[in-house]
């Protein structure tokens, strides 16, 4: 039979594992967003540099 202490230990480890996985996933999402931001910024800069200066927008 499982004692209360053993059950609490299992619950704590499960909770800690879930929080660790969520933290890693959050870090992954944050880094991917930062990467996409940097790529988009580089693309916009390149597009602005390659624009035809004779064409003016109103």
- Domain regions of the chain by residue span: 1-47
Chain segment 23-35, per-residue pLDDT in tens: 999 999 999 999 9
For the chain, the average pLDDT equals 91
Q: Using CA atoms, how far apart are residues 24 and 39, in angstroms rounded to an integer?
A: 22
The pLDDT of 29-52, averaged and rounded, is 93
DSSP 3: -
pLDDT surpassing 90 at residue 18 = yes
Rounded to two decimals, the pTM is 0.68
């Amino acid at each position: 039979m499982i004692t209360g202490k053993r059950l609490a230990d299992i619950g704590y480890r499960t909770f800690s594992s879930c929080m660790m996985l969520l933290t890693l996933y959050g870090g992954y999402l944050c880094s991917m967003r930062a990467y996409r931001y940097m790529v988009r910024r580089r693309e916009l800069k390149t597009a602005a540099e390659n624009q035809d200066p004779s064409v003016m927008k109103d």
